[in-house]
Amino acid sequence: MAADSTSPPAHEPALGPSVGEVNATFCATLVDEWARAGVTDAVVCPGSRSTPMALALAADARVRVHVHHDERSGGFMALGLGRATGRPAVVLTTSGTAAVEVHPAVVEAHLDRVPLVVVTADRPPERRDVGAPQTVDQTHLYGRSARWFIDPGPPDLSVQYTWRSLGARVVAEATGSPAGPVHLNLPLREPLVGSALTLPAARADGAPWHRVLGRREAGAADVRATADLLRPATRGAVVAGSGVADPGGVLALAEALGWPVLADPRSGCRVDRSSVVAHGDALLRAESPLRDVDAVLRFGAPPASKVMGQWLASLPGPQVLVERDGTWLDPDRTAALVVAAEPGTFARQLAPLLSSVTTTTTGWMQAWRRADDAVEAMLVEALDGPGPVTEPGVARAVTAAVPSGGALVVSSSMPVRDVEWFAGSRDGLTVHANRGANGIDGVVSTAIGVALSGVPTVLLIGDVAFLHDSNGLLGLAGRNVALVIVVVDNDGGGIFSFLPQATTLDPARFELLFGTPHGVHLGELVAAHGLALQPVMEAVEVGPAVSVALAAGGVHVMRAGTDRSANVALHDRLAAGAANAIDAIGWAPLEGPST
């Protein structure tokens, strides 16, 4: 939170509305238009220059106000609300470095296309570039990450006819295609407190000034081109990432074609269906005929699995990427065609054109099913029984424990990979992760934002990411959310133990620069925020502890202590176990084509 300095008193006009009244009327008009456009939540970071907008937000009963002392965490809280609801939340800051602190959340919202409205208060033009305190250049502060930037100048009644259009356009730009962050910079003169006058008239029909059209369906030419590319395939596969609004359409197409769906947890497609493959990373690490795919239909964002990315890059056959906005999510440049359409809708359009595809290899889907089941059985035996907690086991147990209709938020680095690699298929779960920039910024706050949407939420996070956003805990004990935070604590940067640095550097140098043990007692940290830390020591305790905590409601923090070196060794054993399980499968059914 930044503290404002007092500016010289403004010169009020002798007659007519005061500056304070104009400020209040302008801000109330924007808030009214935002609420009419569907905005329901705002995160307010305290400050003086932002007073008129803070008061307007607090005065509108249609908008829930969540106060946060830290602007970076507040930005990610708003991002979490946008992730969970699809509606942009407003985050409000005062001027100066307070506005700068929101930048990481803006970058994530931009890259992962999450609607977000950032409102930064600013000094008026006459206070800029003259050494006035708490004044920085906020023009295009977030660069190309903002979908739209607007600085309308100090509020002026002579242009009040533009205010509603401005408010509506802010939401329209944030929710357009692609969705993302909008930056509204408001230079406000003093006095900052005043009563709102009569607001400019709204549209008579009650509608907002701008309507956002739904994302378009793909054109007939796109559907035909895709069908033509995929029709010759005899061993096809579907890879589903985040950004699938209609998983049922994707699954129905795959089942009709007899193709496996390699489903990222965030896709909504990793459900209990015969076509769904949960352990694609393990299957693709092993040498088997399953790797010999001759066409791929990719839906949404790329998966976190590096192995899967390398496999896709090595395939000679055609690949089609279907992405809701047509964003070029093709880092290895292997897509022969990029289609802008909602994946599930496109799959339903495509199905009739591929209904005649019957020349798939005999037993193709059944082989994937057997291999995935074999890996799952190995993981059950290795991870789900008695014994101390492990990082792969925690990922499996937490994913299984979230109740149907609940949400799982997964941090970057190892947790998101462990969920992708080791968690099984299940119905009724929504998985969120900040994978736009793949950073560990604001993960605690993102999970709080998801929980504020009203769904039971579990956060799986590593200790470094937890410490990185420990300010997200500010005020958390008093927020009315059902949130369980499971911290995997290996006292440092566990993911670096998987990199060549771990074996090529002197151990002391590696620990200094990469292992980075922090020595923080998490119990004391959470106690400072009025929370208690519950240790979970045994693998069989994790799932029941999460279930009991969610049923009790409120906020709960759990710690699963692990060892970094032992974790690397366990991952190696699990990879070898998966390879052995796959090798034990007979591949004879794949030797001949069907007719």
The CATH number of the domain holding residue 394 is 3.40.50.970
pLDDT of residue 219: 81
Do the beta carbons of residue 594 and residue 395 sit within 8 Å?
no
Cβ count within 10 A of residue 380:
12
Domain check: are 169 and 33 in the same one? yes
Q: How confident is the model at residue 208 (pLDDT cuts 50, 70, 90)?
A: low
Do the beta carbons of residue 223 and residue 282 sit within 8 Å?
no
Q: How confident is the model at residue 423 (pLDDT cuts 50, 70, 90)?
A: very high
Q: Which domain holds residue 402?
A: 384-579
Domain check: are 174 and 33 in the same one? yes
Q: Which one is predicted more confidently, 230 or 6?
A: 230
pLDDT of residue 589: 59
Q: How confident is the model at residue 6 (pLDDT cuts 50, 70, 90)?
A: very low
Domain check: are 435 and 537 in the same one? yes
Rg value, the chain, Cα? 26
Q: Which one is predicted more confidently, 433 or 13?
A: 433
Do the beta carbons of residue 72 and residue 101 sit within 8 Å?
yes
Domain check: are 418 and 523 in the same one? yes
- DSSP letters for 255-299: HHHT--EEE-GGGS--SS-TTEES-HHHHHHS-SGGG--SEEEEE
pLDDT of residue 499: 87
Q: What digits encode the pLDDT tens for the residues 325-353?
A: 888 888 888 898 989 999 999 999 999 99
Domain check: are 327 and 389 in the same one? no
List the single range of 48-52, 363-367, 483-487 with lowest mean pLDDT. 363-367
Structural domains of the chain, count: 3
Q: DSSP 3-state assignment of 64?
A: strand
Nearest-10 crossing angle of helices 71-85, 443-452: 50
Domain check: are 319 and 411 in the same one? no
- Does a structural domain hold residue 145? yes
pLDDT of residue 9: 47
pLDDT of residue 3: 47
Q: What digits encode the pLDDT tens for the residues 542-585?
A: 999 999 999 999 999 999 999 999 999 999 999 999 999 999 98
- Does a structural domain hold residue 9? no
List the single range of 115-124, 199-208, 441-450 with lowest mean pLDDT. 199-208
pLDDT of residue 594: 41
Q: Which one is predicted more confidently, 591 or 510?
A: 510
- Does a structural domain hold residue 214? no
Domain check: are 561 and 478 in the same one? yes
Do the beta carbons of residue 244 and residue 268 sit within 8 Å?
yes
Domain check: are 302 and 170 in the same one? no
- Does a structural domain hold residue 563? yes
pLDDT of residue 205: 57
Q: What digits encode the pLDDT tens for the residues 241-251?
A: 999 999 999 99
pLDDT of residue 207: 56
Q: What is the DSSP letter of 428?
A: S
Domain check: are 566 and 460 in the same one? yes
- Does a structural domain hold residue 11? no
The CATH number of the domain holding residue 336 is 3.40.50.1220
Q: How confident is the model at residue 213 (pLDDT cuts 50, 70, 90)?
A: very low
Structure tokens at 302: 């790329």
- Does a structural domain hold residue 6? no
- Does a structural domain hold residue 197? no
User: Which strands sit side by side in the sheet containing 236-240, from one edge to the other?
Assistant: 276-277, 261-263, 236-240, 295-299, 319-323, 337-340
Percent of the chain with pLDDT over 70: 93
| pLDDT, the chain, mean | 91
Q: Tell me how far apart the alpha carbons of residues 321 and 229 are, in angstroms, rounded to a whole number.
A: 12
75-102 average pLDDT score: 97
- DSSP letters for 480-525: ---EEEEEEE-SS-GGGGGSTHHHHS-HHHHIIIII------HHHH
Do the beta carbons of residue 42 and residue 57 sit within 8 Å?
yes
Over 60: is that where the pLDDT of 90 sits?
yes
Q: How confident is the model at residue 43 (pLDDT cuts 50, 70, 90)?
A: very high
Over 50: is that where the pLDDT of 593 sits?
no
Q: How confident is the model at residue 215 (pLDDT cuts 50, 70, 90)?
A: very low
Cβ count within 10 A of residue 40:
16
Q: What digits encode the pLDDT tens for the residues 348-375?
A: 999 999 876 654 667 899 999 999 999 9
Closest CA to 48 of 193, 197, 196: 193
> CB burial class (10 A; 0-12, 13-18, 19+) of residue 520?
middle
Q: Tell me how far apart the alpha carbons of residues 78 and 84 are, in angstroms, rounded to a whole number.
A: 10
Domain check: are 510 and 413 in the same one? yes
- Does a structural domain hold residue 419? yes
H or E segment to which residue 65 belongs? strand 64-67
Q: Tell me how far apart the alpha carbons of residues 36 and 59 are, in angstroms, rounded to a whole number.
A: 15
Over 90: is that where the pLDDT of 293 sits?
yes
Domain check: are 472 and 335 in the same one? no
Domain check: are 83 and 133 in the same one? yes
Q: How confident is the model at residue 54 (pLDDT cuts 50, 70, 90)?
A: very high
